[in-house]
Chains A and B, each alone.
Chain A
């Protein structure tokens, strides 16, 4: 397995108030291709900040992040958008599907941004919805889907662009236990079958139980990193 993400001495300081907040402190982390990693820790420990920086959504105050050998910390905003589109899949806590598009169109949308042709878009979107056991809801809009179903569409959307890895910020936070279990099983299957790399931030024990690697953060620092 090759290293897909390499974060070296990453620090992030927020200056929103008069007192600077050190969200990440000199953090170093490597993620290998095909990993199923959970980043855990109490609220405010820096999980989301770390995910934002790994995903190129935010810039570190110091340090360097390399994705597949490319240093993304010095990239311009417009290049980062393009980089994210080609390399990173996102799953958000609140699903964040486009409300006016159907499940199928939501999955197709990312491929549209990648300028895939209509036939390919449709075929792959249907494949992914089938893999996520939600093909029968392809024509439904998000408001017609349950939370678990919406999150499965969101995972299908994240996978649609064939990203190098998927960042999932608290993906099960709004789901009941049955939906959580269902979603985790599907993601684990995608990880196993398609070698998709998943990185979660979570404090959900059920996610931690499924993860093969658990990185624990406290006050912006890694306090433990265990692989099972």
Chain B
């Protein structure tokens, strides 16, 4: 009967209860949407940087990460790297020879990042073939190159045109060559889209006079969370040699830091939202305590224990909060599921403005279950804290004074 009493009490003042429930619903909906969009964007940034570019783990010659020059490359030992793939959770390795060069076409020149790759292995990791917007993909002994869309647009070059690449090769050798454009690839991250040139590993080794050398081996693994364990195991087998093995968090510390910073600002926004909603909830609790002083006094007078009365009030508050939270999650779940599979892309002008900040112009949404559970916890904890007022009032209540009120 206590539950029945609590439930019916909620609906004594339908309008007020509905407003409170709707405000909780709105808070949950807004909080879920905000957090989903934030985490979705982070996932996307990490995916673009890590999954589709760096790889979750990289092996380099020791010192390469601090001084990314071609002289810090190492001998491509496929036998040794194949051993790495025997570690549980490692799918494959992707050898790369990376360096910089000036890319010229007609009277346009731009600094670019040259990536010599094994086309098949590279596609396994970064799915670069799917990013092809024009032309065709590389083969292992290809003479041509893939140019990122932003760079191609800057150079006014297209498929079939020939680029002049000029740089510095291994141990100071001159690096110069003519490379026909075989395809154009479009990357989500502006940083990649505006400077990448892919060529076959063999061609890159020839261009940089770095025969049998690579600068990194990126690993494709089953689960990103397993990266630290895999790094530890690789370090064991590579311990006697001059290598550095880094997981993705070490590879993109700036990204992780900016995500953490942005996440804090997001949480502060959520807290502000909760405080605003909290005032609304507190108003309801204040009113439902004030207007029922007499009734509470009578209940205490006829022999109802304070604890029992407090329990009924807590039940009312919990029920009201639960309804608000459930409705909020019920609305937000299908909504966010839709946007998870159909992210919002910005229109051209807005997209360019956003890409200038170095981020992909898209609102992506995450469906991480913690988004929903955390909002539910937050609202419940807030409700319980705010319920302290009516609970305290009942604890201090004098039935005679209350009935006189």
Bound-state Cα–Cα, A157 to B298, Å: 12
User: Are B303 and A85 touching (Cβ within 8 A)?
Assistant: yes
15 A-B residue pairs with Cβ-Cβ distance under 8 Å, sorted by A, are A55-B301, A57-B301, A81-B304, A84-B301, A85-B302, A90-B298, A90-B301, A92-B298, A92-B403, A94-B294, A96-B295, A98-B299, A100-B12, A109-B1, A113-B305
- Cβ-closest 6 pairs across A and B: A85-B303, A100-B8, A96-B298, A84-B303, A58-B400, A57-B400
Residue A110 CB within 8 A of the other chain: yes
User: Are B295 and A81 touching (Cβ within 8 A)?
Assistant: no
User: Are A113 and B301 touching (Cβ within 8 A)?
Assistant: no
Instruction: State the total of A-B contacts with C-beta under 8 angstroms.
Output: 58
Q: A90-B298, A99-B295, A113-B304 are in contact. List 9 more A-B contacts (CB 8 A).
A: A57-B399, A78-B305, A81-B300, A82-B305, A84-B301, A96-B295, A98-B5, A112-B1, A113-B302
User: Are B400 and A52 touching (Cβ within 8 A)?
Assistant: yes
Closest A residue to B403 using CB positions: A92
Bound-state Cα–Cα, A110 to B403, Å: 18
| Contact string against A for B residues 1-25, beta-carbon threshold 8 Å, 1 for contact and 0 otherwise | 1000100110110000000000000
Note all chain B residues with C-beta closer than 8 A to A113.
302-305, 308
User: Are A81 and B305 touching (Cβ within 8 A)?
Assistant: yes
Residue B306 CB within 8 A of the other chain: yes
Bound-state Cα–Cα, A177 to B302, Å: 27
Bound-state Cα–Cα, A99 to B299, Å: 12
> If the complex has contacts A81-B303, A96-B295, A98-B295, are A108 and B12 also in contact, measured as CB distance less than 8 A?
no
Q: How far is the CB of A9 from chain B (nearest CB, A)?
A: 21
Bound-state Cα–Cα, A189 to B289, Å: 39
Bound-state Cα–Cα, A101 to B9, Å: 9
Per the CB 8 Å criterion, the residue count for chain B at the interface is: 21
- Chain B, 289-332, CB within 8 A of any chain A CB: 294-295, 298-306, 308
> B1: which of A52, A86, A105, A161 is its contact (CB, 8 Å)?
A105
Bound-state Cα–Cα, A226 to B318, Å: 54
Q: How far is the CB of B399 from chain A (nearest CB, A)?
A: 6
Bound-state Cα–Cα, A57 to B398, Å: 8
Note all chain B residues with C-beta closer than 8 A to A100.
5, 8-9, 11-12
Note all chain B residues with C-beta closer than 8 A to A85.
302-304
User: Are B302 and A110 touching (Cβ within 8 A)?
Assistant: yes
Bound-state Cα–Cα, A52 to B11, Å: 32
Bound-state Cα–Cα, A90 to B308, Å: 19
Bound-state Cα–Cα, A84 to B12, Å: 28
Q: How far is the CB of A223 from chain B (nearest CB, A)?
A: 24
Closest B residue to A87 using CB positions: B303
Note all chain A residues with C-beta closer than 8 A to B9.
100
- Chain B, 175-197, CB within 8 A of any chain A CB: none
User: Are A101 and B298 touching (Cβ within 8 A)?
Assistant: no
Bound-state Cα–Cα, A78 to B399, Å: 12
Q: How far is the CB of B311 from chain A (nearest CB, A)?
A: 12
Note all chain B residues with C-beta closer than 8 A to A81.
300, 303-306
Bound-state Cα–Cα, A198 to B299, Å: 20
User: Are B303 and A110 touching (Cβ within 8 A)?
Assistant: yes
User: Are A90 and B302 touching (Cβ within 8 A)?
Assistant: yes
- Chain A, 24-70, CB within 8 A of any chain B CB: 52, 55, 57-58
Note all chain A residues with C-beta closer than 8 A to B304.
81, 85, 113
> If the complex has contacts A110-B303, A161-B303, are A99 and B5 also in contact, measured as CB distance less than 8 A?
no
Closest A residue to B292 using CB positions: A99
Note all chain A residues with C-beta closer than 8 A to B306.
78, 81
Bound-state Cα–Cα, A136 to B400, Å: 33
| Contact string against B for A residues 208-221, beta-carbon threshold 8 Å, 1 for contact and 0 otherwise | 00000000000000
Bound-state Cα–Cα, A85 to B300, Å: 9
| Contact string against B for A residues 97-121, beta-carbon threshold 8 Å, 1 for contact and 0 otherwise | 0111100010011101110000000
Note all chain A residues with C-beta closer than 8 A to B5.
98, 100-101
- Chain B, 202-261, CB within 8 A of any chain A CB: none
Note all chain B residues with C-beta closer than 8 A to A99.
12, 295
Q: How far is the CB of B405 from chain A (nearest CB, A)?
A: 12
Bound-state Cα–Cα, A81 to B303, Å: 5
Bound-state Cα–Cα, A47 to B392, Å: 31
Bound-state Cα–Cα, A84 to B302, Å: 6
Note all chain A residues with C-beta closer than 8 A to B300.
81
Note all chain A residues with C-beta closer than 8 A to B303.
81-82, 84-86, 88, 110, 113-114, 161
Note all chain A residues with C-beta closer than 8 A to B8.
100-101
Note all chain B residues with C-beta closer than 8 A to A105.
1
Bound-state Cα–Cα, A113 to B301, Å: 12
Note all chain B residues with C-beta closer than 8 A to A110.
302-303
Note all chain A residues with C-beta closer than 8 A to B11.
100
Note all chain A residues with C-beta closer than 8 A to B294.
94, 96
Q: How far is the CB of A174 from chain B (nearest CB, A)?
A: 14
Closest B residue to A169 using CB positions: B403
Q: How far is the CB of B271 from chain A (nearest CB, A)?
A: 35
Closest A residue to B7 using CB positions: A100
Closest B residue to A100 using CB positions: B8
Q: How far is the CB of B75 from chain A (nearest CB, A)?
A: 82
Bound-state Cα–Cα, A100 to B12, Å: 7
- Chain B, 373-405, CB within 8 A of any chain A CB: 399-400, 403
Closest B residue to A86 using CB positions: B303
User: Which of A81, A86, A110, A114 is the most central at the interface, judged by chain B CB atoms within 10 Å of its CB?
Assistant: A81
Bound-state Cα–Cα, A57 to B402, Å: 11
- Chain B, 114-147, CB within 8 A of any chain A CB: none
Note all chain B residues with C-beta closer than 8 A to A109.
1
